[in-house]
Amino acid sequence: MGTLRIHFTMEDLARTRLARGADPMWEIVLSRFRLREGSVLPFRPWFRQVQTRRAGWQEHRRQLSLLSALLPTGVYFPDFLTPAAGLHGLDAGLDALRSTPRRRLSGELAQMSRTAPVPVAIRGLADGDAELLGAVATAFRRWDAELIAPYRPVLDRAVAADLAVRAHALATGGLEALLAGLSPLARWRPPVLEVDYPETRDLVLDGRGLTLVPSFFCFRKMISLADASLSPTLLYPIDRGLLWAETVRRSSGSLATLLGATRAELLRVAEAGVTTSQLAIRLGIAPSSVSRHAATLAAAGLLDRIRHGAAVWHLRTPLGQALLDGAADRDPVSATRAE
């Protein structure tokens, strides 16, 4: 294991930002690696559900095989597959992919050939084959539709929970708190962020800043672009907690005991993410009671819990929000207090 050393200046710190969500291009690429690895925690529920839909996406296996050809096992895969425009959505990312200049295609496939033979199916990209590049973009869209889109509510909720925690760290402790929160996979030793990485190299930001991008399918290590001249980006694996729990099988039995005054208030104040200790102060109850009430809400799919450092954060789910919205005219707080 090596170290990626990211060098900051004061200007870089001022230009470093937290992305507003996951990048769909990166999620497609990384989910391909996760599928190749098989039923590995914490992706086992997704893997099993994907296998139940295998007949559907296997109809497009020839099309999807382009992704396998472009994503060999190893350290390197072409940067043009994950353009910065992907942060603006899948359509923007695919438009950027289709517009990749021939010179860049040729250079990145040449770099790919240094670690493994370039499959025949994609060699035409080095010559700027526009039709083949379009087929790659189509394969990306198909992969997203078949293997990611059906599970996007879970993925989006997981990413939102992670971002809420990190945004709070940024708001209360500044950028240094945000960078320090990347531990244990990275260590902030001003002015350098040291990241556990497959190889040892330096990335000098040179005033460009750094974009931190949350990723559901990133696993065990952070990822950066191979070409240091591109917009500096660092993908980090989110803390998934129990967010992949069998959501479709979450018990609705606990809903009957949900709308006590304490739990209703807990659900109300958990909009932007709060810690157990913050909830205890707000509700005037012991932290152990907060944990018990939060467990009931989480079992009903109304609250997410995510550990960040020594703290456990609680964040209202879309289902919890919908319940509050629907109950707004019925004053749920007046219900019998939960014991």
pLDDT band at 1 (very low <50, low <70, confident <90, very high): confident
Residue 249 has pLDDT above 70, yes or no: no
Instruction: Give the end of a domain, one of 106, 129, 153.
Output: 153
- Tell me if the pTM is above 0.85: no
| Count: domains in the chain | 3
Same structural domain, 46 and 70:
yes
Same structural domain, 16 and 28:
no
Length of the chain: 339
**Rounded mean pLDDT, 49-71:** 82
Same structural domain, 108 and 193:
no
Same structural domain, 293 and 198:
no
**Rounded mean pLDDT, 39-51:** 80
Residue 326 has pLDDT above 80, yes or no: no
Residue 242 has pLDDT above 70, yes or no: no
Return the pLDDT at 19: 97
Residue 241 has pLDDT above 80, yes or no: no
Same structural domain, 147 and 268:
no
Same structural domain, 15 and 162:
yes
- Say if residues 222 and 186 touch (Cβ distance below 8 Å): yes
Residue 339 in domain: no
**Rounded mean pLDDT, 153-176:** 86
What amino acid is encoded at 2 in this protein?
Answer: G
Same structural domain, 9 and 28:
no
**Rounded mean pLDDT, 16-44:** 91
DSSP sequence for 105-117:
HHHHHHHHHTTSP
Residue 243 in domain: no
Residue 244 in domain: no
Same structural domain, 30 and 135:
yes
Instruction: Give the end of a domain, one of 104, 138, 153.
Output: 153
Return the pLDDT at 254: 43
Same structural domain, 6 and 28:
no
Same structural domain, 149 and 185:
no
The closest of 108, 332, 327, 127 to 229, measured between CA atoms, is: 108
User: What percent of the chain stands above pLDDT 90?
Assistant: 52
Return the pLDDT at 32: 94
Domain that holds residue 230: 2-20+157-237
Same structural domain, 202 and 299:
no
Number of CB atoms found within 10 A of residue 336's CB: 9
DSSP sequence for 40-101:
-TTSHHHHHHHHHTHHHHHTTHHHHHHHHHHS-SSS---GGGS-GGGGG-HHHHHHHHHT--
Return the pLDDT at 257: 54
Return the pLDDT at 160: 85
Same structural domain, 30 and 137:
yes
- Domain of 315, CATH number, reads 1.10.10.10
State phi, psi for 309 to the nearest 5 degrees.
65, -130
Average pLDDT of the residues of the chain:
85
DSSP three-state, residue 187: strand
Residue 277 in domain: yes
Return the pLDDT at 272: 62
Residue 210 in domain: yes
Residue 290 in domain: yes
